[in-house]
Amino acid sequence: MFLATTTPNPLLGSFSSTNSIANVWTQNNYSYIAVTSGTLTLNFTLTSNSKFDWYIDDVSVYNSTSTELLTNGDFQSSTTLVGWTSGNSGSCGSNTGISTSNGHMSTQSYVDQCSGQTAWIQQSFSVTNGDLYSISFWYFLDHVNPGLGSGVVQLDVTIS
C-alpha cells in the first residue's frame, strides 16, 4: 500500500526499458490513503527514444465505494484526450495523443512517440481525508526499432 505523504509529487512507480518487458501490456495497481481532503492529480510523465514508444491505457482511480473518479481512463471517448491535460517538453506535434492501433482491451490508448523529449498527461480528482483509493493502469513499452540508438526511456507515475 502506498501511503500519501507531504512530499511533493510522490512517485507511485518508475518504469524503463531496463525494468519493463517490451511488447507486453503490464498492469500496475496501487492503494492510496488520502491524508487531507481536496484535489489530487495523477500524472504520467513519459520519455521515449528512437527505439521505444510508450502506450498507457485503462487508467482508473476508484474510491472506497467503487466509484470511478477519472474521465475517459480507457481513452475511448474520442480521438482526442477528453478529460486529460497534456503537454510536452518540445515540439512533439502528432507524436503524442490517442493511438487507434494499440489498446489494452480495445483499439485506443494514449501513445508517446516523441523521441528524445518528455511528454505528460494528467487528470485531477477529489479525495477525502482518510479514505482509501485504488489506482490502476496498464502500460506497453513498444520496442519499435531494435537497431542502434540510445537515450532515456522512462515512465514515471506520480500523485500530488
For the chain, which residues make up each domain, given as ranges?
2-159
Number of C-beta neighbours around residue 68 at 10 A? 11
Distances (CA, A) of 94 to 37, 119, 143: 37, 12, 19
> Please, what's the largest Cα pairwise distance for the chain?
49
Q: What is the pLDDT of residues 124-158, one digit of tens each?
A: 999 999 999 999 999 988 776 666 556 667 788 98
pLDDT at residue number 20: 80
Q: What is the pLDDT of residues 27-84, one digit of tens each?
A: 999 999 998 999 999 999 888 776 777 888 999 999 999 999 999 998 888 888 889 9
Q: In this structure, what C-alpha cell is assigned to residue 34?
A: 488520502
- Whether the predicted model's global pTM rises above the 0.75 cut: yes
Counting DSSP H helices and E strands in the chain, the numbers are 0, 11
**Distance between CA atoms of 145 and 110, rounded to whole angstroms?**
20
